[in-house]
Structure 1
Amino acid sequence: MPLSIVIDDITRLADDAIVNAANPALLGGGGVDGAIHRAAGPALLQACRALPEVAPGVRCPTGEARITPGFALAARHVIHTVGPVWRGGAHGEPQLLAACHRNALALARTHGLASLAFPAISCGVYGYPPELAAPVAVAAVREALAELEAAIAVRFCLRDAAMAAIWRAALSAA
């Protein structure tokens, strides 16, 4: 299935799932994470708190993914993933960012989801340069869809035209 790009507020999308660029505690935060928690309502925080910690204060390690219901969102589910903090690229950031996308898609397939929307994971306060993140995200999604043999419609939901242009360039270059 072709990948697409939309400029929108991810909290308004009615896909089977939206992906949350979360922090390891999964207890809300700023940016996309905060917006998703506010729009979903307090039940999302309760569902996240119910997920087991795998280390003190960590419910989802970097690169992994967890799923919860969407509650008050238009999307039926939220797939939470923790992107890497950008530290120059020599600390496994591309591999961890790719893992976020692969693991989110694997959860979508496991749960029989047909559509999924990704934000620009790690490109906000985590500092990942969008020009470097976009090719990693696009390649990881294409590879995961092929490996999973999954017919999942995937959209990248971006906040503005400048960010969308970066993702469009990555889509056309791949």
Structure 2
Amino acid sequence: MKALIELIKGDITKIQADAIVNAANSSLLGGGGVDGAIHRAGGKQILDECIQIRNRQGKCKTGEAIVTSAGNLPATYVIHTVGPVWNGDEEKGSKLLANCYKNSLKLAEGLDIKKIAFPNISTGIYHFPKELAAKIAINEVQNFQTKKIEKIIFVCFDEENEAIYNELLKDKQ
């Protein structure tokens, strides 16, 4: 089964979904951009759970994903994934970014999630090229075989990402 893909321009912290994905940093302690917004809107509970996970396993590696509750957010879960920092190595960066989507979707599938929302992972402060990141995101989501996930939402914070996703998705729907 393939999940339905939806595109929204907006604030991921306001999305009603079973899970939202956080473009986290490896420390799991919150940061700037999406990560900071999710931690601020979700409240202390998310940070407390991240600290417990860190105490158990250490930092989260790039491309991996972990899950916490969503605190005060309108979602049930937050799936935290660590995107790659762009350094010009397209092959390595692309593989790591693809893993962010794959591992987040696998985690969601294991939690019986029906609706999941993704931000534009690594395209902010990590400077991953937006068009390449969008192609990877769409490819991973479209190739993911699921028995449970019914809807995947790409939440674009800015008009540039929204335009890129619109263009890439119009040929694939």
TM-score interval w.r.t. the shorter chain?
over 0.9
For 2:22, give the aligned amino acid.
N
What TM-score, normalized to structure 2?
Answer: 0.92
Per-residue CA deviation, residues 34-79 of structure 1 (Å, 9 max, x unaligned), is 0000000011110000004577x51x10001000000100111100
Q: Where does the alignment leave 5 or more consecutive residues of structure 1 unmatched?
A: none
Partners of 2:149 and 2:23 in 1: CA distance:
23
Whole-Å Cα distance in 2 between the matches of residues 48 and 104 of structure 1?
A: 16
Q: Is the 8 A contact 1:65 1:107 kept in 2?
A: yes
Contact 2:117/2:154, CA 8 A, preserved across alignment? yes
Aligned-residue CA RMSD in angstroms?
1.6
3-state DSSP class of the match of 1:92? helix
Scaled by the length of structure 1, the TM-score of the pair is: 0.92
| Number of equivalenced pairs | 170
Report deviation, 1:151: 3.3
CA contact under 8 A between 1:67 and 1:78: conserved in structure 2?
A: yes
Match of 1:157 among 148, 151, 155: 155
Structure 2 partner of 1:7 = 9
**In the alignment, which residue of structure 1 is the partner of 2:137?**
137
Matches within 5 A, 1:85-104: 85-90=85-90, 92-104=92-104
Say which SS state the counterpart of residue 45 (structure 2) adopts.
helix
Please give the residue correspondences for 1:15-164 in structure 2 after superposition, counting only pairs within 5 Å. Answer: 15-52=17-54, 58=59, 60-90=60-90, 92-144=92-144, 146=145, 148-164=146-162
Match of 1:166 in 2: 164
Q: Deviations 1:76-109 (Å, cap 9, x if unpaired)?
A: 1100000011111345111111110011011111
Write the letter of the residue equivalent to 1:69: S
**Which residue identity does 2:46 align to in structure 1?**
L
Q: Which runs of 5+ in 2 are unaligned?
A: none
- Could you tell me how far 1:130 is from its partner in structure 2? 0.5
Identity of aligned residues (%): 44
